[in-house]
Structure 1
């Protein structure tokens, strides 16, 4: 199988590219910039392109026999970027998505996966007991969430127009290997922030315990690939989430067991040095639909995730975790 992957140099894109190559697929990675540890596999081809420019994907697809396109490119904007460059966020998260779906259809690609975000549930995430694709009404507030929902809606409409197979995926809050500063992701995960502080020997101060279904990136990739492979998908939208809940306090306590000298405390909203982005804890994201229609079964609870993350090459100290 040949997979064209946009956002290939980003957090999720890098993890996806590695997983696809590991199972023997050919990957065409597309991004504005190459990643510092880009795959050296002969089955990987990197193309530098700005997909916010209409027609950019057409130039790559010409002459290529592509079986599937995975759209992972996005700008995860914080408030500062909302103020500074709202048009740029819309161009990537909405305009580039629409043009990519059109290009895929034009060049005969019949299978498209769009990677979205559980952020689309917005304010409902703090009112519901569980976030369900069918029962929970999206209520996005941030520009990032608004553009992710708009991109999803437009992609699904264009899939109907072009009669192609498109699945929209709403990812939970991801962390793990391949997470790093990329210039397109303004909101690094809380576990990443904790490890970065620990690596600088800076005591971690949590605003609150912060319980959530934190999604380890290997489970995220497994869910995406399960949807890519599933022969029978009864729905157009699927959550991909963890199925496990734990708190950042749990994460810090376990990290302290692994790293003597690591200091942490719950300091309250005014004393924290880890940005949680939300004022409260979000409801868990349902994966019942995903588990019914695919082989996906999450594997990385907190112990498994932290053990794997700290074993990541070069992670002898928390600061060195990518």
Structure 2
């Protein structure tokens, strides 16, 4: 089967592409390799994928409609699209909000508009985020909760992408599945994420910046569990025409427990500098994964201490 994966050199895109290639599929990978975080890490991921003969890579921006159109004309036999390309990062959206509109909205619209002309396309899976739940105080977050009160431009851009997807399903019958990811972590992860920043600070004997608050917690989801969840949806025979699923661990972990796990796995004590939490950051997240479990039987298996050990083993090896 032929897959198109945008953001193929990104964290989730890389792991998904690797899993699909290992199964003998053909993957068309697209990524602009921007410098939001180290392009060297993105290139290192891409180099691993290029070891597969059935991987084709194109460096381009998904918002570049003419360039994207030329690629899709070459690969008109694409059956599944995973649109995982995104401008990520909640705090960075305060500095450069236009980057989020460009990639997360215009880029997503470009994919939708071009995809509806692909003759063999079966479905689009696209990356949303737990951030769409915004100022919602009710935990756990359910797909049925309101998502019209975003706390950041990043969250607003992801909710806008969901609305565009529904519109294209309504107008053109494009079958689509939205994926609301909850704090994905693990080897080859993003250096802007808290667990990576904390590990780097501990390794360099620098203080960790930790937001104040007794309820500061996240639903940390290990990368291999995420990929298993995506594969379970991909192989599900009775997906609806349009739907959205939470992809989370469904377990609330205090951020301080994350630090404890890092200290144990790295055998080093962290120095902590506490500051006030900015209003762009949600205090707590927790996923209700009842919907995807009922549909596919998927549930995550990796405990936080296990996942952090896997991550730090990779982190120390990669940085050495």
The one of 66, 84, 88 equivalent to 2:78 is 66
> Aligned-pair distance for 1:276?
8.0
Selected match of 1:123 from 119, 125, 135: 135
**Preserved CA contact (<8 Å) 2:265 2:308:** no
| Counterparts of 2:256 and 2:180, CA distance in 1 | 26
Unaligned runs of 5+ in 2: 34-41
For residues 134-158 of structure 1, what are the alpha-carbon distances to aligned partners after superposition, in whole Å with 9 as ceiling and x for unaligned?
A: 1344421311111110111101211
From 121, 145, 155, the counterpart of 1:135: 145
Taking the TM superposition and a 5 Å limit, the aligned residue runs for 1:9-24 are 9-24=9-24
1:282 deviation in Å?
1.6
Give the structure 2 partner of residue 185 of structure 1.
none
Please say if 1:97 is aligned against 2:108: yes
Cα drift, residue 290 of structure 1: 0.7
Query: CA-to-partner distance for each residue in 1:86-132, whole Å, 9 max, x for gaps?
Result: 333212111111121121120221211011111111011xx112211
Give the secondary structure class of the aligned counterpart of 1:101.
helix
| Cross-structure match for 2:30 | 30
Q: 2: distance between equivalents of 1:222 and 1:139?
A: 30
Whether the 8 Å CA contact 1:191–1:248 is kept in 2: the answer is no
Contact 1:199 1:320 in 2 (8 A): no
SS at 2:249 equivalent: coil
Q: In 2 relative to 1, CA 238–159 (structure 1 residues): closer, same or farther, beyond 3 Å?
A: same
Q: What TM-score does the superposition give when structure 2 sets the normalisation length?
A: 0.86
Match of 1:231 among 230, 237, 260: 237
Q: Distance in 1 between matches of 2:118 and 2:282?
A: 45
CA shift digits 1:153-180 (9 cap, x unpaired)? 1012112222121111111112222224
Match of 1:184 in 2: none
Contact 2:90 2:155 in 1 (8 A): no
1:1-322 pair list within 5 angstroms: 1-33=1-33, 35-38=43-46, 39=49, 40-64=51-75, 65-79=77-91, 81-84=93-96, 86-108=97-119, 109-124=121-136, 127-181=137-191, 188-208=192-212, 210-234=216-240, 236-265=243-272, 267-269=273-275, 281-312=283-314, 315-316=316-317, 320=319
The TM-score with structure 1 as length reference comes to 0.86
After superposition, the Cα gap between the structure-2 partners of 1:276 and 1:29, relative to the gap in structure 1 and judged at 3 Å, is farther
**Cα distance, 1:128–1:61 mapped onto 2, change above 3 Å:** same
Partner secondary structure for residue 46 of structure 1? strand
Q: For residues 206-245 of structure 1, give each alpha carbon's deviation from its aligned partner in whole angstroms, at most 9, with x where no partner exists.
A: 3346322111222222222222221112461111111222
- Are the counterparts in 1 of residues 265 and 309 from structure 2 also a CA contact under 8 Å? no
Which ranges of structure 1 fall in alignment gaps of 5 or more residues? 182-187
Mapped to 1, the partners of 2:132 and 2:115 lie a distance apart of 25
Aligned to 2:39: none
Q: Is the CA contact (8 Å cut-off) linking 2:8 and 2:84 kept in structure 1?
A: yes
